[in-house]
Structure 1
């Protein structure tokens, strides 16, 4: 997995986004929250589809929302190889910024790493539960 965030990695499907929020599970590492769902490989081009979102309720100015989204995408792009390089199943992610304050890049990156660690732990727990049953 390379350190890019190409078009085929972006979550754009309206049906998949709706399914993600109705049936998906979530993990949080304040000020980030990730909703994820396992997808079928034929529905996706790559193993992971990712989207980012910032609430208009907390950040009225588009400039602020866009800046936070850029920070989140950059933190995702640089850290995804560490956590998702050997992933075998396909997933769809939506990473939400749920904080009220404008973050710095370091803060977003630390939270993103915590979020990915929680996700990998949750993923391992699910696979262990499936093996035990």
Structure 2
């Protein structure tokens, strides 16, 4: 059964986990995103992935723009995440993922959907 929700438990909120992720995690880029990820050792809830989104104040001084970028990213993730979730659950693995928006302009939703799709496929292949 496909679920298209994006619950609070799926969001990466733990400051400790975010610090560890940026310190010890691996990264790759799929323009306009820089993706930092890390496999989790101990289970962090019932969802196989915890994900966070960000856009920098330096590139987008207006909060409206930063919020729009994050909202579009979360929506694209929400609609396509199921395949990655199924794959990770079948291998009983968990990931922490952080997506940082790096472009200087706000991309349209269809472009972001394509890029998130590429990111999800790459995340399936990571060890």
What TM-score, normalized by structure 1, do the two folds share?
A: 0.86
**Post-superposition CA distance 1:56-109 (Å, at most 9, x none):** 110010000000100000000001012222212011111110111111001111
**Post-superposition CA distance 1:6-44 (Å, at most 9, x none):** 011111101100000000001211001211111134333
Q: Secondary structure at the match of 2:6?
A: coil
Aligned length: 123
Which one has the largest radius of gyration?
1
| Structure 1 spans left out of the alignment, 5+ residues | 127-133
How many Å separate the matches in 2 of 1:50 and 1:89?
Answer: 14
What TM-score, normalized by structure 2, do the two folds share?
A: 0.90
How many Å separate the matches in 2 of 1:34 and 1:4?
Answer: 22
Q: RMSD across aligned C-alpha pairs, in angstroms?
A: 1.4
Q: Which structure shows the higher helix fraction?
A: 1
Q: Secondary structure at the match of 1:85?
A: helix
Write out the 4+ residue segments of structure 1 that deviate beyond 6 Å after TM superposition. none
| Structure 2 spans left out of the alignment, 5+ residues | none
